Amino acid sequence: MAKDGRVILLVSSYDWKTPAKLLMYWSHSDDHGETCAPFQKFDVDPACSTYYMTDVLSTKDGLYGMSAGFAPDALTQAHNLFWFSRDGPDWELRSVHTRPEENRGDEVDLFQTSPGAITVLHRDRRH
């Protein structure tokens, strides 16, 4: 939930008709879930395929999130991308946490350790 009370809904999708399409969509509600805006693709960058958000942290500055995704062909392993949004609808990519070729896993937790400082706990896996 954004600091203004907006409810954010993030949904993962797998397109069974078109193999290797792993996508995440998002919507929001400004009336406690009574109605929702139409779903939109979360990440429109053709170079990646954001599949799901592993954690979202609400701070006084806005929302921070870590997503897991794959290369557009969905054949490579997961990568993790760090996002920021003041109010939910306009997410911006802040950094790449892991790259697909690293095959480092995709489960994370976010913690605010001090104002403006976010710590990422990441479950790693061995190759």
Q: Bigger pLDDT: 68 or 1?
A: 68
Q: Bigger pLDDT: 112 or 20?
A: 112
Residues 29-78 pLDDT 10s: 888 888 999 998 887 777 667 777 888 888 888 888 888 877 666 565 66
Tokens of 88: 């939910």
Interval 73-99 mean pLDDT: 73
* Rounded Cα–Cα distance for residues 83 and 66 (Å): 6
The mean predicted confidence, pLDDT, of the chain is 78
Please give the model's pTM, rounded to 2 decimal places. 0.75
Residue 17: partners with Cβ closer than 8 Å, 6 or more residues away: none
